[in-house]
Amino acid sequence: MIQEIKIPRILISGTGSGTGKTTLTIALTKSLQAKGLKVSVFKCGPDYLDPGYHSFVTGKTCQNLDGWLMGKESVLSSFVSASQGSDIAIIEGLFDGHSPNSEAGSTAEIAKWLEAPTLILIDASGMAATFSAIASGIKNYDLQVPIQGFIANFIGSKNHLSIIEAASIPLTILGGFPKSNDYSFPERHLGLRTAGPDILTEEKLSYWRNLSEEWLDLNKILKIANSAPPLLVEKPIEAQAKQKDCKIGVAYDEAFHFYYEENFKKLKEEGAELVFFSPLKDTKLPEVDGLYFGGGYPELFADPLSKNKYLIQEIRNFANSERPIYAECGGLMYLSSEIQTVEEKNFPMVGLIPGKAVMGPKLKSLGYVEVHTEKRTILGEAGIRFRGHQFRYSDLIIENEDESLFSYHIRKRKSEQTIREGYTVSNVLASYVHAHWASNPEIPKNFIASCRRFKV
């Protein structure tokens, strides 16, 4: 049965990385909250860092929306579900996708699927009429993308903004922001540093809220958001609540916090209770039937992680009981024999996966991947396929590779070449892939089944 869902929404995109999309989204969120509105924020693409900023500011988990990883049905379902109870939804993402010849996985694709009025942020430093030329080109490039206005970033003054507005007729200019180095958010690797009160200070958040109230036409932006048409979506079938007969321990702290919220949602829908613990601070594991280690920055906390000998022994004992352990990227590094930092300092780790995780100064892998399992694992039988994303600065160095260690073949989206991955030792499965389980809903079912099978 099809139903109409009315969700005021706006999509903020940019012409490239570094245009200030995240800052604008945070500023707009704070100013709308000051008006008494409840705001939900979404991030287009597989990014793990920006959602942390949006979650911190809204107090509500920011969901990823990714066409290639999730497909249209899951994108619509996640958006509608996570928008419930909010007065407005803000979606942020880079206009480009991962291919110059396809919109698959792009923010433009999400804008079409969600029929979301779109605002384009342009770096306007040193521009006048050129701003109009760029904006006109974007607006006319794909007329199916519902572009409703533009915002000028890094402008020199109010007079500069007036010049851009005069040069951009008949385009809708909704304001702009001056460059502000003192209040910008620091970056790490390819994106922002992990969100926290030390970065998202009250002083900075107040500054950006006040700036948006002074420099943006908020009333017009709200009017545009409210003009979004109702979404036509399939009414979900009321699923019978499943008995919570499985507990999964989830590593979650400053070292491990890169997770797709959709994965948590699917685990809970299938009857799992999630129990969070900290590899940094806890000395005992919770009473659970399986463990899930996500990504993060274990290399930044290698010393305290290594010194937490009590928890390391707990994890080893858990593995010896043959209960399932699943780990991704940072989790793989933690389960390896040791981590070698960029400074070439070595720190012993859990040692369930043979090999040393060696950090490097340059990016080792970035992009979408598709996984094909070659043998049975705790995620199911051989032959299962699912999609994910890699973003890493380390390699796992294994001195004596044993063929039995590998359970995946991984193919990068832009290549036909496959590599071996999916490190498996007994009921431990670890990989550099951040898997998105919307690409194959059987994965969380199978993981929970493995946890139930080996309950102690």
Amino acid at 353: I
Q: Quick one: which of 22, 97, 43, 14 has its CA closest to 436?
A: 43
Annotated catalytic residue 451: no
Q: Which residue has the tokens 């949602």?
A: 265
Angle subtended by helix axes 261-269 and 72-83, to nearest 10:
90
Check if the beta carbon of residue 327 is closer than 8 Å to that of residue 431. Answer: yes
Rounded Cα–Cα distance for residues 6 and 22 (Å): 25
Q: Quick one: which of 90, 85, 102, 99 has its CA closest to 44?
A: 90
55: CB partners within 8 A, 6+ apart: 41, 61, 62, 195
Angle subtended by helix axes 21-34 and 50-58, to nearest 10:
10
Rounded Cα–Cα distance for residues 294 and 258 (Å): 6
Catalytic residue among 44, 62, 329, 451: 329
CA atoms within 13 A on the CB side of 341: 13
Check if the beta carbon of residue 271 is closer than 8 Å to that of residue 245. Answer: yes
194: CB partners within 8 A, 6+ apart: 49, 52, 188, 254, 257, 297
For the annotated catalytic residues, the residue numbers are 329
